[in-house]
Copies of this chain bind each other. A is one copy, B any other.
Amino acid sequence: MACESEKWVLMVTAQTPTNIAVIKYWGKRDEDLILPINDSISVTLDPEHLCTTTTVAVSPSFDQDRMWLNGKEFSLSGGRYQRCLKEIRSRASGFEDEKKGVKITEKDWENLHVHISSYNNFPTAAGLASSAAGFACLVFSLAKLMNVKEDHGRLSAIARQGSGSACRSLYGGFAKWIMGKNDDGSDSMAVQLADEKHWDDLVIVIAVVSSRQKETSSTSGMRESVETSKLIHHRAKEVVPKRIVEMEEAIKNRDFESFAHLSCADSNQFHAVCMDTCPPIFYMNDTSHRIISCVEKWNRSEASPQVAYTFDAGPNAVLIARNRKAAALLLQRLLFHFPPRSDADLKSYVIGDKSILQDVGVQDMKDVDALPAPPEIKDNIAAQKYKGDVSYFICTRPGRGPVLLSDESQALLNPKTGLPK
């Protein structure tokens, strides 16, 4: 060790967004390297409402690599963590901070241990792609700490080895994960299609759906699909490539009609492939189906679609409205069909960007009860209410990529001990 004092703790804190795929990733061609069978495209969600914050620290006083997730210690022994750590360490460069008395040579990194503390600003168990934000943040913050001089593309290829969709969380706005061709995965990485300012009309409402079912993990689900579905390969080879081209075009031109059509069709096809798996995988439930019906009915009653929907490996709906006005009309419909339980507080039922609630003209539960049935609904079955079937709504928008948080007060580790604050 080339540093004189053994007391220093070097720390970096970063914040990384989660993302939602609008052209879905489902199926790997290499399980270890996490190489997909098709390209995918995602929207990055605003980290103000959904993100992971991670502090990584290094110190000669640490005697092993350790990690804490939402304050609880968590084993780093999993292959995916090990692979990310190894890939970043192998790219580390020398670092010197004379003031702090820190000097680390390229070779030192191999023997220095790290402490990692990570925190999600949304419920981890809600099925909101926490592993995407988590691995992206781990790789991004470690790369900064270890003075890795690679661009976001190369970093995305490392994050990919932690969790496939994490590679898309290295960018704000819209990102594409290019599946690549190489056996070693070196060309399987994400690129940015457009930043978050490119299409800032979009408003996103997430319905976190209550579920009594135990869900199949996406890792085992996609493995079973690749092994047993008779439709997945046709999807990957014949359907997705065309959709990727069309989706890039739609995003470039801010063509909401095409964007909505492609997002909905691709989400449904992903769930179709899950159902074609043996045994079949059901991620959506009756509530998910009802949300789709509500959106489809409304979209068809308008001259052009107002809202796109997409569902990941769970029952939650991610609804992308073409603008604020459409988002308010959407929230009105959602609150009509899925009012909170009578004992709920509206403030904890609609979270995130609450200003949309004001556009809806809803201030309290009485206003929710008074919401009229949407005009496109013509019969009693379609106007039914399903109280309590949605746990809560999150209002958000497309957002920025990873950022460093330089304010030390935001760090999750104590700058002296390197342990969670």
A positions within 8 Å CB-CB of B: 212-214, 230-231, 234-235, 238-239, 261, 264-265, 268-269, 271-273, 275-280, 282, 285-286, 289, 292, 296, 300, 379, 381-382, 384
CA distance A402 to B162 in the complex (A): 61
- Would B381 and A272 count as touching, CB distance under 8 A? no
Copies of this chain present in the complex amount to: 2
10 pairs of residues in contact across A and B, judged by CB atoms under 8 Å: A230-B265, A231-B235, A264-B279, A268-B275, A268-B278, A272-B276, A275-B275, A279-B292, A279-B300, A282-B289
Residues of B contacting A300 in the complex (Cβ-Cβ under 8 angstroms)? 279
A231-B231, A234-B231 known; A271-B278 Cβ under 8 A = no
CA distance A218 to B292 in the complex (A): 20
Smallest CB–CB gap between A294 and chain B, Å?
Answer: 11
Query: Is there an interface contact between A381 and B268, defined as CB atoms closer than 8 Å?
Result: no
Task: Say whether B214 contacts A269, CB under 8 Å.
Answer: no
A214 partner, pick from B238, B292, B379, beta carbons under 8 A = B379
A5 CA to B407 CA, complexed, in Å: 106
Contacts of A271 in B (CB 8 A): 275
Whether A275 lies near B272 (C-beta < 8 A) is yes
Residues on B with C-beta less than 8 A from A292 are 279-280, 282
CA distance A300 to B381 in the complex (A): 38
**Cα-based distance from A275 to B273 in the complex (angstroms):** 9
Question: Please, which residue of chain B has its CB at the minimum distance from the CB of A286?
Answer: B286
Alpha-carbon distance between A384 and B211 when the two chains are bound, in angstroms: 13
Closest 6 CB pairs of A and B: A272-B272, A272-B276, A279-B296, A272-B275, A234-B234, A268-B280
A383 to chain B, nearest CB (A): 12
Residues of B within 8 A of A277 (CB): 268
Residue of B nearest to A276 (CB): B272
Bound CA–CA A187/B144 (angstroms): 71
B275 touches A381 (CB 8 A): no
Among residues of B, the one whose C-beta sits closest to the C-beta of A381 is B214
Q: Which residues of B contact A269 (CB under 8 A)?
A: 230-231, 275-276
Inter-chain CA distance A292–B279, complex, in Å, is 9
Question: How far, in angstroms, from A230 to B213 measured CA to CA in the complex?
Answer: 29
**Which chain B positions have C-beta within 8 A of A264?**
278-279
- Give the residues in chain B near A275, CB-CB below 8 Å: 268-269, 271-272, 275
A233 to B: closest C-beta gap in Å? 9
Flag if B278 contacts A214 (CB, 8 Å).
Answer: no
Determine how close the nearest CB of chain B comes to the CB of A37; give it in whole angstroms: 15
Shortest CB-to-CB span from A156 to chain B, Å, is 29
Known: A231-B231, A279-B296, A280-B296. 4 other contacts (CB 8 A): A214-B379, A231-B239, A268-B276, A272-B272
Taken together as a complex, chains A and B put the C-alpha atoms of A381 and B213 apart, in Å, by: 7
Bound: A261/B268 CA distance, A: 24
Give the residue name and chain of the B residue nearest to A277 (CB).
B268
Complex Cα gap A275–B272 (Å): 5
